[in-house]
A and B are shown apart, each in its own frame.
Chain A
């Protein structure tokens, strides 16, 4: 078990290294010249060349990559030989000269909003998706099942911007049930936090719950036909225990996988939802970085998002072994 974990962690680190390399090379192959992007229309070739040197862009690509990698672990100093060097401390994911800030710090500042959005929506969609999915499975083929599946299909095919804009339009603007969303930390002002987050949570949760209802329902239908469910009933267990303890437990594995990967994906930023509800999260940051062609920031966000997914993959795999004793971690 522990040898397996060590092996998985090592291969995960190698994968992350490979990822940084691929991302770095991809972005350096872009026709856009990052040095040119450092100043506006008034740029003279001299300034561009000076900036190229300051950013280390005049080095060979591989060496640039090496500097970048080193920066992640030990930090780095841009424009060391100039009168005003820029310090980027470890973990340095690059420096946004557009914003005059370290990429890592920009991402760190965006993380709380993204984190709370993802976590709240995650809890809501899992609770709703699983319970409604079980309910549908227990009424398979009946009108309850058909209604749930119909709603799920609708939720599935609704674009999130539509749902989000409708929510803002009706609930905030027309009915004025909630103030206009304005993000604040839950520790600073919990009421305003909840007022801001409730709509984006619901919008995201609806989109995801639709999928989890289907998944749970289908899993339950499959598991309820298993022999060990018949055994559980033959023991005289009450039906709710048969469902919760025996059936749901057995059908959990794919739900956990999907949930882990979905959560990780959301931690990398929910672009549309964050933008609609003006949440200052990683998703909004990503949109802005693209709009400004802020290359170091784009690279940084890409890396962080991909890292979440890779780590989630590992966690989900380890969870398998917790859920299913037949899974041997070897």
Chain B
């Protein structure tokens, strides 16, 4: 290592002020606008937020799947000390599927309908490894076994349509983990599945995460899953991370008004699965016309606690309020805590 090497990073994955903009005919779509979070190997961060808040685009930017020809990506995504923003297509391609892997929301449409499961799995092995046909096949069978597909040496010959939704998501998980990536991004991996299957799939992901010591970015609508699975949470609203921290900070000491609204919609944590995270009056902002100042200000009922019209004019920074707990809000810490108690009552800091 020479002096020119980048400063050592604290965490395995560090996303730093990541922004993704799509120039379109209707105007500039600011899909992601200043996203910051970090996680270590073996840890899980949950990204929560309304649909359209930029979660999937964030995930795709981390995977280098946002096409540089159609989008502007700025900021940094450090993966094990290497910044993938600004990497060449080929460098990125080599990391995809080996260092970092992704599973998607809809297992019904995420596998190629015309190729056998076995071919799709061995293809994933062969892109990144020089191995014999037999070795690749053995790896595929072993992986299918691991994700709980019965008689994998037979099922490997089947096509995706011969599997149920849950089984297909298992295949997707097998495919994602077949090269033992150190980062797994799961974009709403259970949303499209039967309720009965959802828990099994989450369990499987967590089990394999332990085995491989993978860092997991889990995008979900489901606060129950967050409570069960995540170590940390990043709350996104209007393309920005508005609050982040360890799970207890977010669930028991939240400070950002949007997070408060989100939690208020869940009467009892760990039990009720919120299908929609939209208990707050008003509409989420359009990514083409993000509000100036605080993106949440048109819907915020506490903005009069902030002097002047700072909320409408000045963009609040994502600042630490506690160790590892970041909040993006102009209110003073006292006001934020007071407001949280009002909004969440006993669920708020008193029980924490």
Contacts and interface: CB of A to CB of B under 8 A. Distances in A.
Contacts of A250: 112-114
Contacts of B113: 228, 250, 324-326
A227 interface: yes
Contact of A231 (B104, B114, B127): B104
B159 A326 contact: yes
Contact of A234 (B65, B89, B106, B112): B65
Contact of B65 (A233, A246, A323): A233
A238 B65 contact: no
B104 A237 contact: no
Interface stretch (B42-50, B93-101, B243-251): B93-101
B109 A228 contact: yes
Nearest to A252: B114
A237 B128 CA distance: 9
A225 B63 CA distance: 17
Contacts of A326: 113, 159, 161
B97 A234 contact: yes
Interface in A215-234: 226-228, 230-234
Give the interface size bracket for B toward A. Answer: 20 to 34
B102 interface: yes
B127 A230 contact: no
Contacts, number: 68
Contacts of A228: 109-113
Contacts of B13: none
Interface in B102-149: 102, 104, 106, 109-114, 123-124, 127-128
A235 B124 contact: yes
Most A CB atoms within 10 A — which of B65, B98, B111, B123? B123
B173 interface: no
B175 interface: yes
A232 B98 CA distance: 13
Nearest to B89: A239
B110 A227 contact: yes
A236 B64 CA distance: 10
B171 to A, nearest CB: 11
A238 B93 CA distance: 7
Contacts of A234: 63, 65, 96-97, 101-102, 176
A146 interface: no
A236 B112 contact: no
6 contacts: A226-B109, A233-B65, A237-B93, A239-B93, A326-B113, A326-B159
In order of increasing CB-CB distance, the 9 nearest A-B pairs are A236-B97, A236-B96, A227-B109, A235-B97, A228-B112, A325-B159, A227-B110, A234-B102, A235-B124
